[in-house]
Every structure is written in structure tokens, then in C-alpha cells.
Structure 1
Amino acid sequence: MMRDPVCLMELDPRKAAAMAEFGGHAYYFCSEGHKQTFISQPEIYQDKAPAMRLTIGVMGSAGDDHPEAVKQQVRALGQAIGGRGFVLITGACPGLPYECAVGARQEGGWSVGISPALSLDEHVHKYHSPTDMFDVLIYTGSGLMGREVTNIRSSDMVVIVGGRSGTLGEFAIAYDEGKLIGVLQGSGGVTGEIPHIVASFGDKDTGARMIYEADPAVLIERMVAMYIEQHYRHPSCFCGGADTIGDEDEDRPAMK
């Protein structure tokens, strides 16, 4: 449970009347009026009730054969995440996830790496994975594929960058579990195929929502706006029922 920072009422986040983001933290309200009160003077209310930081998972290729322009694009994505105060979550691997962590660090952001390894020693020597850009490494011992579910379930929102079959697997988990998913267009790999894959699902509606955008900063802004407007009400994974989702979520087309 969370508390409305204006009246301190205890709330179920999924059933809150409104939500706002400030400094990367999520705040929930019993009414739209209290949200507007908070927005007008957030410095008065931000410390009155505990608030968790929102997490954005970035899933992409661990390979090192990406064009410099794509690396810069993904670093800019990390800068957009870190600069807003969100927590970046990645698979703690080299390649594009690492580039994103570099960008987040440049803006003073926090990065959490979900490692496939059992320990730091295994992370470095068996998986040849970096440590220098992560504030926290979580050792799953699950291997490269087994950690995918942890990556997705630890993320409030998910961004797909570049990537091949492993990234496609992470996308499939995120889609089936109803996540808000951003696709960084122009970053290569499976990102160009995802619109066609989603179209092939037909009328299967898991609650997942798609946003496609090439500009990293705009992508994050659009995702946060949709999360605040409606997607925070969507239960993660399969907890709860459809009755907890607002009426405005009944017809939610993919965002182009």
C-alpha cells in the first residue's frame, strides 16, 4: 500500500484515483484534486509519504558490433532515464545495455544490473560482463536466459533497443505480462520487426501497450505520460483482475 502525500490516506496503487511523477518517484492520490495540489507545490508534499522510484528496463543486444550512431542513441536513452531520476534496469551485460548504463551514469542516475551469475567472480570471469556502470548487481544464478523474467518483472516500463533472439524473448515476456513497452526505432536488430510481430498477434490483448519512437528523450516522455495517465492501473503480471483497470483502458491502441 502507498499513501496519498496530501492527506496521508492509504491507497492501493492500482485503484488510486490519480498518479503523478516527481523526481523519478511515483505518487498516488485519492482524488484528482489532491494530485493538482501536489503538482502545484510538490516540494511541500514530496517527503510526507514514502514514494518509490519508477524503474525502466532496457533490453537489447550484448554484442559489440553496433554502429557508433546506435551506441550514441542508446546512451542518450540512458541520459533521459537517469536525468529524470528513474532507476535503470538491465541484464548487466556488455553491448547496448551497457551503453545505456553509461548514459544514465553521466546524468547521475542509478543503474541496477540483473546478472546471470552466482557471484561477482562468475559475473566477471564466466560471463565477461561489466561492473563499472552499475550501482547494484543482483546475482540470480539463472544464466543468460533464466534472468529474463526477473528483468521484466522488476521494471515498471520496458524499452527494447536493438537485439536479437534473446531480446525478442524479453519482449515476448513483457508483452504477455501486460507491460508498457517502448521501442527505440532506428536502433537495429528486432526493433524493426516488432510492429509486424505485434500485428500477427491479432486480437490477443494482454494489456500491453506499445510506443514507437526514434528520439530517446521523446520516447521516455511519451512512456511516462501514458504510465501516469492510465497504465499505472494495470496490474503487473497476472495479479488481480480486469475490474481493477479503469474504463478508459478498455480500448487502447498501440501508439505510433
Structure 2
Amino acid sequence: MSYKIGVYGSNIVESEHALSLARQLGQALAERGCIVITGACSGMPYAVARAAFERGAEVWGFTPALNLDEHRRAYPRDDVGIYHRLIYVPPGYHDLFGLAPATPDRDWGARLKYRNVISTVNSDAGLIISGGWGTLNEFTNLIYEGKPIGVLVGSGGLANELPTWYPRLRKKTASPVLFAEDPTKLLSLVLQCLEEASTGQHQQ
């Protein structure tokens, strides 16, 4: 079974060390036969996805753009060829959610949040590498969905803060939140959770 693993993190490259971790994580995802899901953005998720693609993994991108031209304008340095599937925000989404058309800037922000929800819902589990406010939104989406989450400690940003911040949360969740500094070990822990959950469901 190919698990769909979402990768969420900073839309910039945090550091050379973080970039190295991203490449290792991408290679590990490919070696384990995972489908890689990202928000189709630049930065750390793109680095993971590109490394996975280069090793033969299938990559899906959930972009906040409405079409390919808009996506390319938003992320001009990224190669869209790495995506086996590029999923756009549906046309007429304002009507779907009862939203009035907004200014382009506000409109893009709403679509980013829509993208965050759709990409996390379509993932079996999530991996956090570095990250800021947008990644925190994706992290909480995964929490609400009760999905396993792996946090790559040492990659910077949110991933370095979660080990001390997350245990202080009072809200209960079905999500196992796992921490590791080694990308391969972190992925193994997440996949183990998925396998155990799958085995438990089959036994019931």
C-alpha cells in the first residue's frame, strides 16, 4: 500500500542544514514507496518533493492557484514537472463557500487556507520540516483530523519549537505526534503508526 504523506514547512529554504535534511527526507519517502503531497509551494516542501521525485516517487501538489499559468507566476523558480498531479482551487469557489469576491491579495490568502485544508485532508499523515504560521495552520489541521504527525527537529522554525510547545496543549487529539532529528527514523515512526492503525482496523 502506498501511503500519502503530506510534507509541510517553510516556503523558503531555512538553511543549508535544513536543505540537506529535506533531501534526505525526500529520498526516504521515495525508498518507502510513499506518495508525496505538498502545498505546491517553494522552499522546504519543494526541496523534499523534488528529491523524492528524482528517486521515482509520485508527487501531488495542492496549489492555491486557480490554473497552471497562475501557479507558474506565483512560483516562477519551481519546476512544475515534478508534480504527477497538480490540484487547483476550483473555479467558482467563492460561490461554493458563500464568499464575496475579494481583492487579489485577500483572495490569495483565503485560497492558501483552502489549500491547507484540502492537502491535509488528502494526506494519511503529515511531516513538519521547519515552518512558520502557514505550517502551524497545517499542523493544527492534521491534529483535528487525528492523523499521525512527524516533526523533524533541528530543521528550524516551528519544528524546533513544537517539542516544548506541543505538550502544553490541553486539547486531546487522536494524533500521535512524533519527534526525531533523523529524517529516515522519523518517517519510519510515522509509517509504523499507519501500519499499526491499519492492522487494528482489519482485526476489528
Identify whether the pair has TM-score above 0.5, normalized to the shorter chain: yes
Report deviation, 1:196: 2.8
1:196 aligned partner? 164
1:43 aligned partner? none
Unpaired runs of 5+ in structure 1?
A: 1-24, 26-52, 235-243, 247-256
Q: Report which structure shows greater RCO (CA 8 Å, sep ≥6).
A: 2
2:118 aligned partner? 150
Q: 1:116 to 1:128 in 2, by over 3 A?
A: farther
Partners of 2:19 and 2:199 lie apart in 1 by 30
1:42 aligned partner? none
> Which amino acid in 2 is paired with 1:172?
T
> Which amino acid in 2 is paired with 1:67?
S
The correspondence for 1:97, drawn from 22, 45, 49, is 45
2:96 aligned partner? none
1:213-233 residue CA offsets vs partner (Å, 9 max, x unmatched): 111111111111122123675
1:133 aligned onto 2:82: yes
Q: Map of 1:1-256 to 2, 5 A cutoff?
A: 25=1, 53-64=2-13, 66-128=14-76, 130=78, 131-141=80-90, 143-202=111-170, 204-230=171-197
SS in 2 for 1:230: helix
Report deviation, 1:132: 2.8
Q: 1:158 to 1:232 in 2, by over 3 A?
A: farther
Q: 1:177 to 1:215 in 2, by over 3 A?
A: same
Partners of 1:85 and 1:124 lie apart in 2 by 28
> Which amino acid in 1 is paired with 2:175?
A
Report deviation, 1:143: 2.0
Report deviation, 1:190: 0.5
Partners of 2:159 and 2:121 lie apart in 1 by 21
SS in 2 for 1:94: coil
Higher helix share: 2
1:37-74 residue CA offsets vs partner (Å, 9 max, x unmatched): xxxxxxxxxxxxxxxx210000001114x211210101
1:179-208 residue CA offsets vs partner (Å, 9 max, x unmatched): 100000111001121123322213x32201
Report deviation, 1:127: 4.9
Partners of 2:50 and 2:192 lie apart in 1 by 25
Contact between 1:59 and 1:90, CA under 8 Å: does it hold in 2?
A: yes
SS in 1 for 2:7: strand
SS in 1 for 2:81: coil
> Which amino acid in 2 is paired with 1:147?
R
Report deviation, 1:105: 1.3
Q: 1:224 to 1:79 in 2, by over 3 A?
A: same
1:11-51 residue CA offsets vs partner (Å, 9 max, x unmatched): xxxxxxxxxxxxxx1xxxxxxxxxxxxxxxxxxxxxxxxxx
| Structure 1 ranges of 4+ moved more than 2 A | 126-130, 230-234
Please identify the structure whose Cα radius of gyration is greater.
1
